[in-house]
Amino acid sequence: MGKVAVGAAVVCAAAVCAAAALVVRHRMISSRKWGRAMAILKEFEDKCGTPIVKLRQVADAMDVEMHAGLASEGGSKLNMLISFVDNLPTGDEEGLFYALDLGGTNFRVLRVHLGGKDRGVIGQEFEEVSIPPHLMTGSSDALFDFIAVALAKFVGSEPEGFHPPAGRQRELGFTFSFPVRQTSIASGNLIKWTKGFNIEDAVGEDVVGELTKSMEKIGLDMRVAALVNDTIGTLAGGRFYNQDVIAAVILGTGTNAAYVERAHAIPKWHGLIPKSGDMVINMEWGNFRSSHLPLTEYDLTLDADSLNPGEQIFEKLISGMYLGEIVRRALLKMAEEADFFGDTVPPKLRVPFILRTPDMSAMHHDTTSDLKVVGNKLRDILEISNTSLKMRKIVVELCDIVATRGARLAAAGILGILKKIGKDTVKVGEKQKSVIALDGGLFEHYTKFRECLESTLKELVGDEVAETIAIEHANDGSGIGAALLAASHSQYLGVEES
């Protein structure tokens, strides 16, 4: 009996030792894996670094590229497109103007009533219309005929007392958010379709001419007074309310910037110098690229996998379309190389663009003690359950790294514009403020991104200059802005009401 008991005790002790060894080994492996995950995070943080010195280099590079793009066509990654907008609204415009905003699978028609000096926008109405999918790949006539009919129907609801006098045309601002080679304030040839449209017989055609032809077919007497994109619309909307607005930036799904340039500072402009002396430039700044941009392996693979490799590099670092996707790619590497979510990689984590920037923002702004929002998002979107608080904190940190880099680079881009037009320093005796109008869902809804952008710009220019610079949210520039530009480019300017 004694020997059996001793033997059993030895076996038990051995089993306990083996179990303990397994626990120790498991802990060592877990610790090693956690260490690997932390190393991936640290390397990513370092590569995304945006110290002030680097941001100043980015701003200087933006300034250089702006000069090059203004000097000659194709001289820079920045197109620096001449918009032919040389009269921005003054706030004195009055009358009833229409706008058409076409930039995706829906379009909007708007009616804006302007009251003149000190009265601003008295009233506005709009209607949103879905474009049937077959029209997005059909013929140019079919699309513009459909739009003209919707526009005519909207004009039909115009209130009594607002009809134009006999012999006077209604005027329209046309926001067309596809690549166009502008030839005048109210004409431009379509370069290519994007966003799911593919109407071959429209490419190379003047989009204003196509719309006008369709309006004439149904007897709608309306003149397109201005063809603009959403960024220029935002600039016009901002200027209408505040004459100190000098630039506009869109930070939404995509990104772009436009600003007011002195016409004599545009070597590639061969027309007459406008009376105002100014010309609005559509930068197309999403295509900016520089060796100073802090690119990581995730940015490089995202670019390589995209529909436009090598293009829109700045946009892929700072816009809403891509921020959540960069976070997903970093999480995927942690899952693959450090078993961050367990022994198997969650299948949903391999799906490109499954993690959208609004979800990233919700996780980044989670203030619950157990980061419940983060846990819910991981479960609902990526089907990852049972995440520890420690893991959730890492996810928030990733969101912070990506959003901070994007916001700080956007601020550097704005500094580049200020440098180009000499507003990055305070001139003796000059009191004028420089206001940048900002719009887009990313800026509007991602609070930490917005706050970081604003504080970074202040840090870059210093306290004294910061007193002269302001960022203002300009809502719905692409709609109201186009109507305002129709007003400021009206053929009846200076003509007395009969």
Q: Which residues are catalytic?
A: 108, 177, 230
Helices (H), 289-437: 297-305, 313-318, 320-338, 357-364, 372-382, 389-420
Type of residue found at 166: A
- How many CB atoms are closer than 10 A to CB 218? 11
Asked if residue 228 lies in contact with residue 236, where contact means CB atoms within 8 angstroms, the answer is yes
Q: Percentage helix, strand, coil, to 5, in the chain?
A: 50, 15, 35
For residue 437, how far is the Cα from the chain centroid? 13
H/E segment holding residue 20: helix 2-47
Tokens of 366: 């989670």
Say whether 343 sits in a helix, a strand or coil. Answer: coil
Calpha distance 498→485 (Å, rounded)? 22
51 to 234, 294, 489: CA distances (angstroms) = 30, 10, 44
Calpha distance 295→300 (Å, rounded)? 7
How big is the CA angle at 434 (ends 262 and 61), to the nearest 5 degrees?
65
Say whether 482 sits in a helix, a strand or coil. Answer: helix
Instruction: Give the residue carrying structure tokens 């033997």.
Output: 7
Helices 389-420 and 372-382 meet at what angle, rounded to 10?
90
Question: Which residue in 169, 203, 206, 170 sits closest to 186, CA to CA?
Answer: 206
On the CB side of 373, how many CA atoms lie within 13 Å of its CA?
Answer: 13
Tokens of 99: 């706008």
Strands (E), 16-80: none
Helices (H), 190-311: 207-217, 230-241, 297-305
332 to 181, 307, 329, 395: CA distances (angstroms) = 41, 21, 5, 11
Helices (H), 421-481: 441-445, 447-466
